[in-house]
Amino acid sequence: MTNIAFIGLGIMGSPMAIHLAKAGHEVVGFNRTPEKTRPLVEAGGRAAESIADAVADAEVVCVMVPDSPDVTDVLAGEGGVFDSAKSGTLIIDFSSIRPDVTTQLAEQAAARGMRLLDAPVSGGEAGAKNAALSIMVGGEAEDFAAAKPFFDIVGKTVVHVGPSGSGQTVKAANQLIVAANIEALAEAVVFLEAYGVDTTAALEVLGGGLAGSKVLDQKKQNMLDRSFDPGFRIELHHKDLGIVTAAAREAGVVAPLGGLVAQLMASALANGDGGLDHSALLRGVERLSGRTQP
Ligand code: NAP
């Protein structure tokens, strides 16, 4: 059994930490808003009052916070993981952040004798709750091998995709594909409704053909019901599309659809939908079509 610290017990981090605790590991959770540690404690984990307290005895430190500045704060900030963890600690960053930031943090970790893997995930809240995440891992092969047993507890498809930062690059590609899919599904729903088609029947048959997708399976009901509780928040997907468009530009490649859907995601944020699930891209299609519902 391994001593694991888990920092960031939000929509994704909480169920992941609970799976690790239920698998028999000693899991100490830290969350900025302390109440969110309760489900982990009920599942047999312990709540820490600071990052330093959480990581003091940890062999493995997992991080699941929103964005690049947050991961930088948690790892390299005063009283953060680099200040407080033991040399040799294996740090697994599950957050989706900029690949270049990950690479810099991995170098800082190595300078302190620690090891950092970037291990962003896909599969949404359902994937986290069902321990069925896809995990795309960047870093050293031996660190990946050491972390694999923990990945297997929270994920189903776990792949080492290359050196430090590669996991984040693959995740950026993932977010491009997902956003474009959601936008296309949203446009199809509004289009079908405009023709008075039975959308439930339509999405059932579309789901069985080439138009079928996990996005369709997982997001169709949100769209049909106009029920946009997150899930994956628009503001987080906006962050990810910023990563995609900047990284594509740096690499000298173009992603026209990525650019377009990034604008539509930004519009959703500007219209006050940042806290809604990303399936609420549908609301943007309705706004553009003059079909806003009360
Ligand atoms: P979330 O529910 O907002 O949880 C984020 C957690 O990070 C919260 O517990 C928050 O604490 C904590 N946090 C935020 N800023 C912090 C800081 N500066 N220092 C310390 N703690 C901080 O977000 P989430 O949906 O779990 O997403 C987490 C990461 O997973 C993101 O990178 C996201 O892009 C990625 N992701 C999400 C999904 C999804 O479907 N939700 C799917 C795949 C990947 P408080 O409780 O105090 O706010």
Residue 152 pLDDT exceeds 80? yes
- What pLDDT was estimated at residue 293? 76
Per-residue pLDDT, averaged over 21-42, amounts to: 98
Q: Which of 214, 211, 63, 203 is CA-nearest to residue 132?
A: 214
Tens of pLDDT along 219-268?
999 999 999 999 999 999 999 999 999 999 999 999 999 999 999 999 99
Pick the CATH number of 169-288 from 3.40.630.30, 3.40.50.740, 1.20.1250.20, 1.10.1040.10: 1.10.1040.10
- Please identify which of the residues 22, 148, 171, 219 carries the catalytic annotation: 171
Per-residue pLDDT, averaged over 124-141, amounts to: 97
Q: Look at ligand 1, atom 42, and give the residue with the nearest C-alpha.
A: 124
Nearest 5°: the CA angle 40, 46, 47 is 85
Pick the CATH number of 3-163 from 2.40.50.140, 3.30.420.40, 3.40.50.720, 2.60.120.260: 3.40.50.720
Q: Residue 207 has what DSSP assignment?
A: H
Residues with Cβ within 8 Å of 190's Cβ and at least 6 positions away in sequence, in order, are: 282, 285, 286, 289, 291
What's the start-to-end Cα distance of the chain, in Å? 53
Per-residue pLDDT, averaged over 167-175, amounts to: 98
Domain boundaries, given as residue ranges, for the chain: 3-163, 169-288
- What pLDDT was estimated at residue 221? 98
CATH topology agreement for domains 3-163 and 169-288: no
22 catalytic per annotation = no
- Burial of 272: CB neighbours in 10 Å, binned 0-12, 13-18, 19+: exposed
Q: Separation of 53 CA from ligand 1 center, angstroms?
A: 20
Query: Are 222 and 74 contacting, i.e. CB atoms less than 8 angstroms apart?
Result: no
- What pLDDT was estimated at residue 112? 97
Q: Across all residues in the chain, what is the average pLDDT?
A: 97
Q: What six digits make up the tokens of 60?
A: 């493995």
Tens of pLDDT along 68-123?
999 999 999 999 999 999 999 999 999 999 999 999 999 999 999 999 999 999 99
Query: Any residues with Cβ below 6 Å from ligand 1, and which?
Result: 8-13, 31-33, 36, 64-66, 70, 73-74, 95-96, 121-122, 124-125, 231-232, 236
Per-residue pLDDT, averaged over 179-205, amounts to: 98
Q: Which of 30, 38, 49, 64 to mutate to test the pocket of ligand 1 (most atoms within 8 A of CB)?
A: 64
Task: State the Rg of the chain over Cα.
Answer: 20
Q: What six digits make up the tokens of 88?
A: 């040799």
Residue 196 sits at φ, ψ, to 5 deg, of 65, 20
